[in-house]
Structure 1
Amino acid sequence: MARTVRFKSTADYATSEIQRMILAGELPAGERLDQVRLSEQLDVSRHPVRQAIERLAERGFVLLSPHRSAVVTGHSVSDLVELYSLRESLEEMALRASWPRLSTEGIEELEAIHQRLVAQDSETDIEGYMQENRAFHLAFYRDCGNQHLLRTITTLFDLSERYQRTALNSARRQTRSRDEHGAMMDALRAGDLELLSQRLKAHNRGTQEQVCAMLTSPETADAEA
Structure 2
Amino acid sequence: MGRPPTTQEFVLGELRRAIVAGELSPRQPIRQEAIATRLGVSRVPLREALKTLEAEGQVVYQPHRGYSVAELRLGDLLEVYRLREILESEGARIAARRFTEHDLARVTDACADVDEAAGNGDLVGMIAANRRFHFALLEPARMPRLVRIVRTLWDATDAYRAVYYNSDVNRGRVQREHQAIVQAAADADADRLVTLLGEHRQHAVDALRDTIADPTDGGVADVTFELDGDGLLPHSRPDDPVGHVD
TM-score normalised according to structure 2 size: 0.79
1:175 and 2:172 are equivalent in the alignment: yes
1:42 and 2:39 are equivalent in the alignment: yes
Distance 2:15 2:21 in 1: 10
| Contact 2:96–2:188 (Cα < 8 Å) also in 1 | no
**What is the CA-CA distance between 1:6 and the residue it aligns to?**
5.9
Alignment of 1:29-108 (within 5 A): 29-66=26-63, 69-102=66-99, 105-108=102-105
Distance 1:148 1:65 in 2: 32
Tell me the residue number matched to 2:193: 196
Greater C-alpha Rg: 2
Which of 18, 24, 27 is 1:27 aligned to?
24
SS at match of 1:58: helix
Aligned-residue CA RMSD in angstroms?
2.2
Distance 2:132 2:29 in 1: 30
Q: Which has the higher strand share?
A: 2
Letter in 2 for 1:156: L
Q: Point out the more displaced range, 81-90 or 64-73.
A: 64-73
| Contact 2:118–2:171 (Cα < 8 Å) also in 1 | no
1:121 and 2:93 are equivalent in the alignment: no
| Contact 1:103–1:191 (Cα < 8 Å) also in 2 | no
Tell me the residue number matched to 2:232: none
| Contact 1:31–1:71 (Cα < 8 Å) also in 2 | yes
Distance 1:122 1:22 in 2: 22
**What is the CA-CA distance between 1:122 and the residue it aligns to?**
5.8
Distance 2:182 2:142 in 1: 22
| Contact 1:184–1:200 (Cα < 8 Å) also in 2 | yes
TM-score normalised according to structure 1 size: 0.86
1:10 and 2:1 are equivalent in the alignment: no
Identity %: 28
Tell me the residue number matched to 2:141: 144
Distance 1:191 1:144 in 2: 13
TM superposition outliers: structure 1 runs of 4+ over 6 Å: none
| Contact 2:97–2:188 (Cα < 8 Å) also in 1 | no
Structure 1: gaps (5+ residues) = 218-225
| Contact 1:63–1:73 (Cα < 8 Å) also in 2 | yes
Distance 2:61 2:178 in 1: 37
| Contact 1:103–1:188 (Cα < 8 Å) also in 2 | no
Distance 1:9 1:105 in 2: 29
Letter in 1 for 2:144: Q
**What is the CA-CA distance between 1:28 and the residue it aligns to?**
0.7
Letter in 2 for 1:144: A
SS at match of 1:175: helix
Distance 1:25 1:66 in 2: 25
Structure 1 residues 210 and 5, CA gap change in structure 2 (3 angstroms): farther
Letter in 1 for 2:62: S
- Say how many residue pairs are matched: 214
Structure 1 residues 123 and 160, CA gap change in structure 2 (3 angstroms): farther
Q: Which has the higher helix share?
A: 1
**What is the CA-CA distance between 1:67 and the residue it aligns to?**
5.0
| Contact 1:95–1:144 (Cα < 8 Å) also in 2 | yes
Q: Point out the more displaced range, 194-203 or 4-13.
A: 4-13
**What is the CA-CA distance between 1:17 and the residue it aligns to?**
0.8
Tell me the residue number matched to 2:237: none
Structure 1 residues 32 and 122, CA gap change in structure 2 (3 angstroms): farther
